[in-house]
Structure 1
């Protein structure tokens, strides 16, 4: 019985939301950040990058304190206001005038995360979680909802469709060709319906935001220990989520690029691959896999199709069937000598929207020697791996939608 509740969001005023909303800070290049900071005084990047005001780089706890200060300034000048009562929110995002995502913004329960009602499919890095926990403890707000997914639900779908027939609170388009529509759900009867539908689900799954959710759970433990009158209803017992039906998710693959062949010649490398794969040299013909267990490889100016020889591979659980794991088990680890997918400096990832053309360009320039492409993982693979208590290799899924910062802010 997952608990998803309404909350009092702090939100931009209608006239400024399009100026405030930004992609996460780390997704911009330095030049892009500087351009936005120079030309848009309302960008949420001013909060995320408070050192701009002093023309210097600031990090650590000093930065965290200044982030909080910038946020308070945005509230003081009226750019942000907090809703007077708890609400759910409906958010529709249209990418490039063709792909539509619709989901509810609400507060997810940290206890549900701890009890595995909210399920995970990725490992987190301890150091990254610790830093973000300290950040949250200082700033006491979260501007980036965790992306969670649930099985398609007729009642929630019906509520969404009815709301979308009314005028949205926000309607704006970004320079990235994303159009956003946003509704505030104040009706207590709708609150009851929405909460009831989530409570009747067996599980909810994290699609994107594992570090953010893990940090929120660690923060809850810290603040609970410090609160002699803890009730379990305090805001820190929840974290902000964007809840989207499974059919609305778009899952892309991550490609892998490797700097060298681990001391092997091209022919030696191909001979080792032949033990596990049927190999077809496609020469200059671009190739992208159309089904699972097929891989694209670019090497020395040629594309190759690699088809796994099933009889030589041990499928013993859901993780072993995942193409990213197959690539690691058959090529990256035994042949190319990559033991740790998170830390090996010879390995680089590129998300699948850049496709194999990006891989080809990086290899042709001499930055890498070989690249691999995969068929995207499915939502069912992701859920099964989570259900079995296993974790996908890093950079297995690039999931859309990617959410903007500053549209809804959860204070605690």
Structure 2
């Protein structure tokens, strides 16, 4: 049984919500963040990427950055840009991008559920990224960006959501990227209690996006426990901010690849090698794969459709049958020499939101060959997490991404 617990949100006052709401800290670098905030003193990036308010020569992991984040957060609250709800509530958060919506519950999840694998993972984390978020959370004493979770849909919960979103929202705005954000507060005590009971039937939660933030939140919770002579388990540091989406609401986008060179091979040698594992079909148009185990390849201003031949992967293995695994194990590693895509400087990953034109652009300029992918599915993610396996790097890309700064969970 997973814990999805209501909480007292600290949230923006209505007139500033569209100015405060910001993209997650990890989708842009510091230079891009500085550009985003230069005309917006209210942007939550002043908290999530506080280096934007420090000199350029200050390292992004310097203690000054985390102190500045705390200072900026306190200033925003003290200035009246935020309000705190009087009692624990659930919140419904809907985003609409290009006509497609995704709707989830903003609530708190349990660090014990994370430790006990009730919140299931499918990615490895890096220590340096964990330390960064640990320092940020610990200094701010707050969760400032929600973890993106999913669960197998419960129709009874969805029915309540469908009825509740007929009510007046507390926020309704469109961000600068065209994505619409609408939020409702479930502050009726009977409905909150009913949802708490219904959520007890949710057996597992799955991290869709935010493995580093989840690991960091859990570690900060354990640090706080160690600082106490005793704790009950009900303290707010035992829980972290999350948005839980039923699996039916999510769409995973493709996460494409582009490679610097052909690993010393001539074009003719390269084709000869890939034809051992893939059927290669020349295309007169851009290739966006329409089914699993097919790939687009763009090389020397020409698109090709690649179809994986039978026998090159295990269809019973949830990791081996992933398209990202098939490409890595049968082309990127043995032919192009990309042994470790996490560390190789010869490969770049392009989120599907940027389109196939970006793959062409890169292959025509600073790279050599690009590959378009069929998206990993939510079912794939759950199957791999349930089996205790780890997905290859850069397997999933989710859009739209929940905005930070809309909810703060103080602990």
Structures share fold, TM-score greater than 0.5? yes
> Residue 312 and residue 37 in structure 1: after superposition, are their counterparts in 2 closer, same or farther (change >3 A)?
closer
Distance (Å, rounded) in 2 between the aligned partners of 1:305 and 1:311: 19
What is the alpha-carbon root mean square deviation over aligned residues?
1.7
Partner of 1:344: 344
Aligned-partner SS, 1:271: helix
Distance (Å, rounded) in 2 between the aligned partners of 1:46 and 1:29: 13
Partner of 2:14: 14
Aligned-partner SS, 1:2: coil
Partner of 1:162: 163
Partner of 2:88: 86
Aligned-partner SS, 1:16: helix
Asked if structure 2 preserves the Cα contact closer than 8 Å seen for 1:109 and 1:239, the reply is yes
Partner of 1:385: 384
Distance (Å, rounded) in 1 between the aligned partners of 2:114 and 2:267: 47
Distance (Å, rounded) in 2 between the aligned partners of 1:44 and 1:117: 31
Asked if structure 2 preserves the Cα contact closer than 8 Å seen for 1:91 and 1:105, the reply is yes
1:67-216 alignment to 2 at 5 Å?
67-96=69-98, 98-216=99-217
Distance (Å, rounded) in 2 between the aligned partners of 1:379 and 1:52: 35
Distance (Å, rounded) in 2 between the aligned partners of 1:134 and 1:66: 12
Deviation at 1:344, TM superposition (A): 0.2
Distance (Å, rounded) in 2 between the aligned partners of 1:57 and 1:16: 31
Q: Gapped runs of 5+ residues in structure 2?
A: none
Deviation at 1:50, TM superposition (A): 3.8
Distance (Å, rounded) in 2 between the aligned partners of 1:196 and 1:43: 37
The normalised TM-score by structure 1 is 0.95
Cα-to-partner distance string for 1:168-195 (whole Å, 9 max, x where unaligned): 1111111111222111111221122212
Are 1:309 and 2:309 matched, yes or no? yes
Deviation at 1:54, TM superposition (A): 5.3
The normalised TM-score by structure 2 is 0.95
Deviation at 1:404, TM superposition (A): 0.6
Deviation at 1:369, TM superposition (A): 1.1
Partner of 1:395: 394
Q: Gapped runs of 5+ residues in structure 1?
A: none
Deviation at 1:354, TM superposition (A): 2.0
Aligned-partner SS, 1:81: strand
Deviation at 1:68, TM superposition (A): 0.3
Deviation at 1:205, TM superposition (A): 1.0
Distance (Å, rounded) in 2 between the aligned partners of 1:121 and 1:32: 29
Asked if structure 2 preserves the Cα contact closer than 8 Å seen for 1:169 and 1:184, the reply is yes
Partner of 2:240: 239
